[in-house]
Structure 1
Amino acid sequence: MTAIERDAVNAVGTAAYAQFEGVYSDWARFYAGAANLAALDIEGQVLVARDHSGAILGAVGYFGPGTPRPECFAPNTAVIRMLAVAPKARGGGIGRALTDACIERAKADGAPTISLHTSPAMAVALAMYQRVGFREVRTLPDRFGVPYAVYQRELN
C-alpha cells in the first residue's frame, strides 16, 4: 500500500467512525484506532473498495487463520476488523461487498469460520452482518463504555 493509499484509507476510517463521537467514553483513544485503519495492513490485509476514478470509498482489515488477532478470536478463524465506508458512499453496497470479499478470502484460506466483533451502537453494520449470516457467539466486556460481542459465521 502506498503512502497516498494509506492516507486515503485512514481518511475513510476517520470519516466513517466520526458519527460515534460522544458514544464512546474514551473517544480520543477509539478515534485514534479509526485514524490508523491502514496499520491493519501490517499483520493482516486491508481490502479497499474504489469508485470509477480509483478513489477509496471503503476499507476493511482481513486476518486469515493463524495471523495475529485480539484474544477474543480463536486462532483458526478468519477475522474482519474495522469495516469503514465513507459517509458519502453509504447505502451503495460497499460494506456488503467488502464483507463478502473477506468471506471469500476466508474460504480460500480454508478457515472453518469467520469472526468479528461489533456493538449495537453500530446498528447499520450489525444488521448487515446478521443478514449475511453472522450470529452472536459471545459477549465481551464493554469497550470504551460500549457493549460489544463476537459474531461468527460458519464457512462450508
Structure 2
Amino acid sequence: MTEIHVRPATPADHDAIGALSVAAYRGDGQTRQDHPYEPHLRDVAARAAGGEVLVAVDEATGAVLGSVTFVLPGSPLAELATDGEAEFRMLAVSPQAQGRGVGEALARACLRRAGELGCRSVVICVRDFAADARRLYARMGFERAPELDWSPLPEVTLLGLRYPLA
C-alpha cells in the first residue's frame, strides 16, 4: 500500500485539485454538470487566497489524491466557525483513491492545524445523504451539532458537526 502525504498545496496542484473536487462531488451525487457550486470547487486559487488548501499525494507517484480547505473565522470561506474555532470545507478525494484513508488523513491534518493554532474546536458541515462521510467523522470523534445545520439552496441540507479539541 502506498503512503499518503498531506502537505500545503502549491499553484502547480490547483488544476488537479479542481478537477478531482468536481469529480468527487459529482461521483457522490452532490453536484451535477452546470451545478452552481462547481465553479467554487474548481477555483482553487480563490480557496488558497481565503484559507489554507491542503493536498494529499501518493508518495510513490506524486499523484494528487485529495484536498481540503482549512479556514478560520473571518475568512470569506468560513461558513460556521466562530471565535476559537476552525473549519474545513470542500474535502474531496479522487474517485480512484476513495477507500484508501485519504479523507481521514486530510481531516486529521486539519485537526492538527487547528490544535497548533490554539482552537477549541473544529466545525464542519456534511450533506444529509453523505452516509460514508458521516460514518468517517463519527468514527473520528466529530459530534452532531444541530444548531449548525443549514441550507444554502432549497434542495441542499447540510448537517453541522463539531470536533472538540483538548
Question: Could you tell me which of 127, 132, 147 is aligned with 2:157?
Answer: 147
Deviation of 1:4 after TM superposition, in Å, equals 3.0
Alpha carbons 1:30, 1:144 under 8 Å: kept:
no
Q: In the alignment, residue 41 of structure 1 is paired with which amino acid?
A: A
Matches of 2:32 and 2:98, distance apart in 1 = 26
Are 1:62 and 2:70 matched, yes or no?
A: yes
Identity of aligned residues (%): 32
User: Whole-Å Cα distance in 1 between the matches of residues 144 and 34 of structure 2?
Assistant: 25
Q: Can you give the 5+ residue segments of structure 1 that lack an aligned partner in the other structure?
A: none
Task: Name the SS for the 1:73 alignment partner.
Answer: coil
Normalization by structure 1: what TM-score? 0.87
Q: Distance in 2 between matches of 1:144 and 1:57?
A: 31
Cα deviations across residues 113-134 of structure 1 (Å, max 9, x unaligned)? 0011111222211211111111
Superposition pairs for residues 84-99 of structure 1, below 5 Å? 84-99=92-107
Question: What code does the residue aligned with 1:148 have?
Answer: L
State which of 81, 84, 87 in structure 1 corresponds to 2:89.
81
**CA deviation vs aligned residue, 1:46-70 (integer Å, no higher than 9, x gap):** 1111012111110000114554444
Query: Hey, what does 1:132 align to over in structure 2?
Result: 140
* Paired residues of 2:126 and 2:160 also in contact (CA < 8 A): yes
Structure 1, residues 3-62: CA drift from partner, whole Å, max 9, x if none?
Answer: 4311011111011111245x6699620222222245311111011110121111100001
1:123 aligns to what? 131
Secondary structure of the residue that 1:116 maps to in structure 2?
strand
Any idea what SS the aligned residue of 2:40 has? Answer: helix
For residues 53-99 of structure 1, give each alpha carbon's deviation from its aligned partner in whole angstroms, at most 9, with x where no partner exists.
11111000011455444443313211010100000001000000000
Measured after TM superposition, the shift of residue 136 of structure 1 is: 1.7
Separation of aligned partners in 2, 1:25 and 1:15? 9
Long gaps (5+) in structure 2: 1-8
Q: How many residues align?
A: 155
